[in-house]
């Protein structure tokens, strides 16, 4: 059975933010503008969290890219009254935009704060609408959204593999963030395939997960501790 997972090597992460930008471009995420961002409504499915350690001059910055952890026991799923979010057989936490009525309970129950709400409808002034990805919908106001592990790319690769009568190969699917990272810190793959890179990295000593004590069983693995 396929179970999608992502490995992020924080020892390689430079905090450049290319993953966040690529995610915006790939997934038609709206740019909310200065005023709305000041109110705390910016939408970054993938964000780089910065934690400062130590005091000047021995300050160190820790970068932590955070995205939807696609938890195996997601706290956001049972609380949605209309099944707008549920677990797919391939291990993704699906977000069904058409079904969402905007109660925002899922966002409140996410311990990672990875869910984003469309407070207003997105505006793409000319000619920015030409940049939109045709494989991804544009969400209207009142709908929740979050990282989908670029499900459109997964679907695309699976379709091609089916046409060619074969399995999807490891490394064939690249999420927008893993594709754009200059340090190659992000790897995507099938955690249930023992030969895949992600499942091997998940077994390494440096592998950890965020907020593990909450038993959400995230599918995103962070590699940390090298430096």
Which residue of 15, 17, 75, 122 would you call a contact of another protein, by CB under 8 A?
75
CB of 41 to another protein, least distance (A): 5
**Which helix (H) or strand (E) covers residue 74, if one does?**
none
Check binding of 109 to another protein (CB under 8 A). Answer: yes
Going from the C-alpha of 17 to that of each of 24, 142, 222, the distances in angstroms are 11, 27, 17
Check binding of 87 to another protein (CB under 8 A). Answer: yes
Q: Could you tell me which residues come within 8 angstroms of residue 175 by beta carbon, excluding any fewer than 6 positions away?
A: 6, 149, 150, 153, 186, 188
- Identify which of residues 113 and 184 has a Cβ nearer to another protein in the complex: 113
Check binding of 81 to another protein (CB under 8 A). Answer: yes
CA distance 118 to 94: 17
**63 Cα distance to chain centroid:** 16
Supply 218's token pair. 């995230």
Check binding of 80 to another protein (CB under 8 A). Answer: yes
CB of 25 to another protein, least distance (A): 21
Q: Which residues pair with 48 in a beta bridge?
A: 65
Check binding of 138 to another protein (CB under 8 A). Answer: no
Check binding of 120 to another protein (CB under 8 A). Answer: yes
Residues at the interface with another protein (CB under 8 A): 36, 39-42, 49-51, 64, 66, 73-75, 77-83, 85-87, 99-105, 107-109, 111-113, 115-121, 140-144, 210-211, 214
């Amino acid at each position: 059975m396929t179970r999608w997972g992502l490995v992020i090597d924080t020892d390689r992460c430079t905090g450049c933010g290319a993953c966040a930008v690529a995610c915006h471009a790939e997934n038609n995420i709206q740019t909310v503008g200065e005023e709305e961002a000041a109110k705390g409504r910016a939408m970054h499915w993938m964000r780089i969290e910065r934690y400062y350690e130590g005091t000047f001059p021995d300050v160190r910055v820790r970068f932590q890219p955070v995205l939807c952890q696609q938890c195996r026991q997601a706290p956001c799923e049972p609380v949605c009254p209309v099944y707008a979010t549920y677990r797919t057989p391939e291990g993704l936490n699906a977000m069904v935009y058409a079904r969402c009525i905007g109660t925002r309970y899922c966002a409140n129950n996410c311990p990672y704060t990875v869910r984003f709400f469309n407070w207003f409808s997105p505006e793409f002034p000319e000619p920015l609408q030409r940049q939109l990805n045709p494989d991804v919908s544009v969400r209207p106001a009142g709908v929740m959204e979050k990282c989908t592990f670029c499900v459109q790319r997964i679907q695309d690769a699976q379709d091609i593999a089916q046409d060619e009568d074969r399995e999807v190969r490891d490394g064939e699917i690249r999420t927008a963030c893993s594709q754009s990272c200059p340090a190659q810190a992000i790897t995507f793959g099938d955690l249930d395939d023992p030969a895949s890179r992600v499942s091997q990295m998940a077994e390494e000593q440096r592998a950890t997960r965020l907020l593990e004590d909450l038993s959400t069983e995230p599918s995103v693995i962070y590699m940390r501790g090298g430096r």
